[in-house]
Amino acid sequence: MNPAAQIKFDSFNAFLMKPALRPTSTKKELIVYPESDGKPMAESTKQYDSIVEIKENLEFFFTDDVFIAADLFWYPVEGNNTIRRAPDVMVAIGRPKGHRGSYLQWEENDTPPQVVFEILSPGNTKTEMKEKFKFYNKYGILEYYTYDPNKLILKGYRRGVGGLLEEIPKMNGWISPNLEIKFEMDKKNGLKMFGPNGEPFREIINIEKERKKEKLRADKEKLRADKEKLRADKEEAEKEKERIRADNAEKKLILLMEKLKASGISI
């Protein structure tokens, strides 16, 4: 075998002996995003009442394209189920209402909640609250409010010109830039909040009464509209019957005239 042929033969043998490359899988690993950590939403009735009152009043005032949730896991980073928080109350402006098992930010047009409320209980430690602040500061919260219903202490933070959350110097009388709700502190009764229209936040029992009242009003309005539609449909049906009667009479008259004309009778 000549040298040139030997080189080609050796190269071909080397190719046959080369181990096959394994195809690289492009399939993404399935990641589960837990919807609960098994912990209760609140540790006391005061904390629970404050959470529910804030959440339900916000639902009452904001009816369109504002998603509001309490104690719902928020995952800001796709692919990492350990980066998460469950704010006591969170508000995502521009996101549709509806049930969610968790708030997966990449499925929400990459929109982080803009406003978060944390209601403190005796079990909240300084370390825990620092970690929450760091999380909200890092992942884009624009307004962050904490309230201690036992010590009657209200604090607020807003994202400043430097891009970081900065403490609001005076919370009494403060109006949220994004929600337009007003905060007032009463030395005896604690936090009072007012909606964008100036109406005070209602107590939980009154919110339910207002909802029932609003539903009753809506049902009555629907009944009135249905009756009006039924009356209009009935009128239209009568008009149609009259048109058909007139058309039939005209056809009969034309037919009679044609018969008379055929019989040599002129009119």
The whole-angstrom separation of Cα 40 and Cα 199 is 31
Look at residue 170 and give its three-state secondary structure.
Answer: coil
Q: Is residue 187 part of a domain?
A: yes
pLDDT at 244: 87
The whole-angstrom separation of Cα 96 and Cα 84 is 21
| Domain that residue 134 falls in | 45-201
Q: Is residue 67 part of a domain?
A: yes
Q: Is residue 27 part of a domain?
A: no
Query: Any bridge partners for residue 182, and if so which?
Result: 175, 194
Q: Is residue 31 part of a domain?
A: no
Q: Is residue 82 part of a domain?
A: yes
At 180, phi and psi to the nearest 5?
60, 25
* Predicted confidence (pLDDT) per residue in 250-261, tens digit: 888 788 787 777
**Domain containing residue 178: CATH number:** 3.90.1570.10
Structural domain total, the chain: 1
Closest among 134, 54, 135, 141 to 89, alpha carbons compared: 54
Q: Is residue 188 part of a domain?
A: yes
Q: Is residue 242 part of a domain?
A: no
Under the banding of pLDDT at 50, 70 and 90, the label for residue 235 is confident
pLDDT higher than threshold 70 for residue 18? no
The listed range with the strongest mean pLDDT (16-20, 167-171, 260-264) is 167-171
Q: Is residue 71 part of a domain?
A: yes
Of the listed ranges 17-21, 157-161, 260-264, the least confidently predicted one is 17-21
Of the listed ranges 114-123, 135-144, 229-238, 251-260, the least confidently predicted one is 251-260
